[in-house]
Every structure is written in C-alpha cells, then in structure tokens.
Structure 1
C-alpha cells in the first residue's frame, strides 16, 4: 500500500473533482498572451493593466466548470482570486517565462522572489513547474534542469504540497523551426517526449506527484483515434503509463479545440487522469481583443460549450488519479493513527 503525507493527499483531492479526475484550467500564460497583446496594442507594449482584466474574465467565466485553476502569481493571482472559489483547487506557477537559451538547450529559472514556501503560505493546493526539456540537450543543460526539478521536489516534500511537473520539447537554437513561443514543436520526435518523462520518473529523486504530459505525437499528425491508422499513435501514448506510475494529465501546448479533444481521447485510453489546459479552451475568444465584451460573449458560448464537452469526455474516459500504478495496492495516510501528531513531519525532511 502506498502512503501519502497529509498535505499531498489533501492537495491532490482538492485539485481533482469529486470522482478523482483532473479538469484543470490554465490561466498562467504570460509570454504568449503578452506577445499577442503587443501586436494588438502596438506601438506600445502590454502592461499589467492590460493583462489583468483578461485573466479576471477567464477565471470568472471558466473556473466554475474547472476542478482547479492554474495562475501565475504576478499577473494572474490578484485579478483571478475573487473567482477561484472553495470548489476550485489552486495551482501556482513557480517558473519565470524567461529562460537562458544556448546552442545546447534551454535553462529554466524560478520567478524572482518566489519559492515553494511562499506558494504554500499563500494557500495554494499545488506547485507547478514547467521545464523546457530535451533528452538530447547538452549534459550541463540537462543537469541544470534536473537539479532545478529536484530542488523543487525537495521543497514540496518539506512543505507538504503536491508537485506538478510539466516538460516541453522544443527546437534547438539555429534549427529551421526554432521559436521561443510556448507551443508544440511540430517536428518533435515521440522518443524525446517519452525519454524526458523517463528522466524524471523516479518519485524518490524528484518527488513529482502529477506529471503534465504533452502529446508524444504532433497534434497535426494524429489520425482519428477510432480509425484504422490510430494503432501506431496509440502505442506512443500507451507507453506513458509504463514509464511513470504517478497520476498524469495532458497539456494543450497551443493545440486547437479539435486537436486537443483528439489528444485527450488517445491519452484517456492510455490511462491519463485528466487535463490541465488553457489556450485550447479560451484562445479563440482571445482573438476578439481588445473588445472585452466580445471576448466574454465568445467565452460564454464557444469556450464554455467546449469546456463542458471535454469535461464530459473526461468523465467518460479518464481514470481517477487513485488508479495510477503506484496506488494499485491501495492508498493510505502516512503515519496515520494515534501517534500522528508526533510522527507527522518525520517523512517530510522536517
């Protein structure tokens, strides 16, 4: 039987719905949102006052249908907080959108003046870390990214809060498809996605509680999941649960609505426990800016309809997070029982 500390157990329950499925809304996007707004507002650059009302509107409209909401602490937390209710879990992004780009790969960093302890104190139910990661990056780049994740995992264990790790494959500097945008690398190889997961699969070393996984196959290349050509694509998704034995969810990485729904179908058949997505849900409405009223109208119709559709798919096809491989023999509270007050903390590095 697998034991979970009290904080991690309560956090995982809070992030999921009552049936244990994750229907998590991402509003933590900063760079993609700012770049799009810069184009709209040119020649001036987007400011906090431009971004905050948009994030507020996204939370107000879409949080009620979400099991949890992911926000960034700088541009997102304050405007979104009034709309993240007791029925929503709260995830906070730790990393800064800026990164060090080298010929051998990208190095990530935490947001200035932010750490796991502060995220825990502000009342979050989980910590999210996105890492640019390629298994074929230079040794020093991989070591840096692994060290960063290892440190966050240790801090999450110490402060007893769930750790959600997201890996994203990217094009190297100088490649024809190079881009700094937070989006899917359409030329990625499935092996890179799976090998990256393998590098962070050890729960003792990295302490990951939820893996946020990108589609191993480029969204544009995925055939109909019910068609005769789906077997090869499905096999790549099926490998995920053989590499990691912890709960996992899907990210959209800029996929459109139809593409993401297709990705989810493959993932749920492979054992995924839900999604953590943003732009697949609300990006079409974002195109109405700077007209906030028009954006809200599209959110209330198209975005909510789509969110409800993928929620129904999640209810039907996804598995509860308690069905993850590590919990096959059951789940219990670590150090539970009469002596819990004195025993609690002995497994947290406290």
Structure 2
C-alpha cells in the first residue's frame, strides 16, 4: 500500500526509528482541572496553572517518547517552547464537552472553528480525535458520529496529515453532570469494543492509527504471565481486535493504574499493536504530589520516567513496527513517487 507523501512523513515522525509509537498524552483537561479544584479551590483553576502542569509533564516525559499529544487550549500555547523538534506532535481536535441526545447518546464537539487544516498549519504531524461511540446507541446518534469521522478523514487526506481515532465506549445511562472526566466504563462488554473497531476499520473513514481501549475492563485483566483459561480468553479478545485491522493500532490507558496498564500492553503487543498513546497511567501517581512542585517533578523523574523505561522495553521486545502491518505487506511506498513526482503530485 502506498501513502501520500505527507501521510508517510507524519507516521514516520510520530514513531521512533524502529517503527514503534511511544506517545505520551498531556491533552487531558477535566482530570487536571478537577485535581486543581479539589486541592486549591475553584478560583485556582486558571489557564496559567493548568498550563504549568502540562509544561512540567512535557519537560520530563518528552525525552522518552517518540511523540507528544497536546491540546490546543492549554498545553500547546503554554508549553510550545518546550517542544522538541525531533519529536512527533499530535494535536487534539475535540473538546471534551459533548452534546447529549435522548437515550443517552453523545455527539462529539470540536473547538469552535477548529479543523485539521489548523492543526496542519501550526506544524503538527497528526490529528487526534476522541470519539464517544457505542454500537447500541440510538441509530441517529451513531450516524452523526460516523459522518463526523468521515468528514475529519477527508480533511486529513486533503491536508496529508495523520488521522488518529480514539473511539471510547461510554455508559448510556450516565448523567452528563457526572461525566466531567472520562473513566473506563467497568460494565462495558467486549463486544462493544470489537464492533466499534469493525465499523471504523472501513477504508471510507481514512484512519491512519487507531488508539484503542482494552476490550476487557483494565482492572479485571489477568496477569499475562499466568497460565489459565482467563489469560487465553483475554488474549483472544485482543486477537479479535487485531484481526479486524490492517493499519497500526496503539493502546490507550484511560486512567488505568501502572500495573493494570502494563498487563493490557502485554496482551496488545502479543496481538500485534505497534505501541501506546498513554497519559495518566504514566504521570497520574506523580501528579498526586502537586501542588508541591519539587515533589511533583521528583516523582515524575523517578516514577513516571521509570515506568516509561519499562513499557518502552516491552514495546521494543514485543510490539509490531507499524510498517509491518498488513496494509503495508507489499512494501512501504510513496504515492506519487519515483520519476515524474513533480508533475504527478496534485496541487492543493
């Protein structure tokens, strides 16, 4: 399969030299705002304070990542001078706030006027879209979400920028007032995750990288080192995800703790995942030391970075380089390429 020049360049920049995605998310908004509110009160939840937290995360974790994911509201404008030009950059498209429809379905919203063209123009390598999605949600809600993903996919193709989709199962009966920060739905069924992947694996959506949640609630994932029927069953669910995808996929952490996420990664890498895009599993424990900035930074430097070293070693040992995915079985080529590239490369 051939890739447009910009898409090929983007995937190369988001991954490391071995073809693995070791990506860290600092685009979280509600969890950081909520923590500041709990510790210091509502008046302390300011743009500057949130930005300082994100800048600290970027400073300590970026050296050990292949790419960073930043939101445009806080992280990007506050911490842009800390960005390492040798690292890939993903930027968030969606707002966390969403529209709730009758029956509990959620409709994704973007920042007003914010598009993949803006993200490409500022120099990013990829667009990240978090999409609340359930196959059993009201049909009109799912149709709207599908149309939205198609629109983003078309825009990313036009801009030749990588499109990373993060579909998340959510509880239909949750009060929107209680959905201020995404947490994994402990009652989700693995079939919901599988059917979501099946839908968005269709070429019409134009997705380059899938950022996926575990089909089994992270807290219940058995230790992969055990020999049991539960381990075999869990691995089978991850295998079903891989069988539906020809493009690269990575795991998200969804607020899972360090050990549960390590277990999830082991199953994912065995199945064929090409890395991770994780945030809170890496840095949340350290963030508990905030607002003591010195303790926060020390905890990041020791616990957060130490954890990244461990999961990065697992990536190198067990994950699949993205260019070995079935979509690229015939070789990785640029389209158009070769002699006559100038004449055949389409104008904007």
Would you say same fold, with TM above 0.5? yes
Contact 1:213 1:250 in 2 (8 A): yes
1:47-86 aligned within 5 A: 47-86=46-85
Q: Which residue does the alignment assign to 1:334?
A: 335
Q: Which residue does the alignment assign to 1:28?
A: 27
1:106 aligns with 2:106: yes
1:242 to partner: Cα distance: 1.1
TM-score norm. by structure 1 comes to: 0.95
Contact 1:25 1:66 in 2 (8 A): yes
1:292 to partner: Cα distance: 1.4
| Residues 21-49 of structure 1 deviation map (CA, whole Å, 9 limit, x = unaligned) | 00000000011211121111214251101
Q: 1:300 to 1:233 in 2, by over 3 A?
A: same
| Structure 1: distance between partners of 2:126 and 2:205 | 15
TM-score norm. by structure 2 comes to: 0.96
| Structure 1: distance between partners of 2:195 and 2:28 | 26
1:240 aligns with 2:238: no
1:259 to partner: Cα distance: 0.6
| Structure 1: distance between partners of 2:107 and 2:346 | 32
Q: Which residue does the alignment assign to 2:198?
A: 198
- Between the two proteins, the alignment pairs up a number of residues equal to 343
1:202 to partner: Cα distance: 1.2
| Structure 1: distance between partners of 2:255 and 2:160 | 32
Cα RMSD (Å): 1.3
Q: Which residue does the alignment assign to 1:250?
A: 251
Deviation larger for 73-82 or 277-286: 73-82
| Structure 2: distance between partners of 1:133 and 1:37 | 29
Residue segments in structure 2 that go unaligned for 5+ positions in a row: none
1:174 to partner: Cα distance: 4.8
1:291 to partner: Cα distance: 1.3
| Residues 76-124 of structure 1 deviation map (CA, whole Å, 9 limit, x = unaligned) | 1023322221221000000011101232411001112311111101000
Residue segments in structure 1 that go unaligned for 5+ positions in a row: none
4+ runs deviating over 2 angstroms: 178-181
| Structure 2: distance between partners of 1:173 and 1:44 | 31
| Structure 1: distance between partners of 2:292 and 2:284 | 14
Q: 1:90 to 1:43 in 2, by over 3 A?
A: closer
| Structure 1: distance between partners of 2:237 and 2:6 | 33
Contact 2:104 2:174 in 1 (8 A): no
Deviation larger for 67-76 or 39-48: 39-48
2:22 alignment partner, SS class: strand
Q: Which residue does the alignment assign to 1:3?
A: 2
Contact 1:54 1:292 in 2 (8 A): no
1:96 alignment partner, SS class: strand
Q: Which residue does the alignment assign to 1:308?
A: 309
